Amino acid sequence: MADESKKDDREKTIFINKKKYETRADRLTGTQILELAQLSPDQYDLYLVKADGKSEQIGPQQEVEIKDGLHFNAVTKGINFG
| Residue spans per domain, the chain | 9-76
Length of the chain: 82
Which class would CATH give 9-76?
alpha beta
pLDDT score recorded for residue 78: 80
Q: What's the number of CA atoms in the CB half-sphere (13 Å) around residue 20?
A: 6
**Cα 24 from Cα 19, distance rounded (Å):** 17
* 80 band by pLDDT with thresholds 50, 70 and 90: low
Average pLDDT over residues 6-26: 89
What are 27-77's pLDDT values in tens digits? 999 999 999 999 999 999 999 999 898 999 999 999 999 999 999 999 999
Q: Quote the pLDDT of residue 3.
A: 42
Contact 36, 25 (CB under 8 A): no
> Looking at residue 81, what is its pLDDT?
60
Specify the DSSP class assigned to residue 50.
P
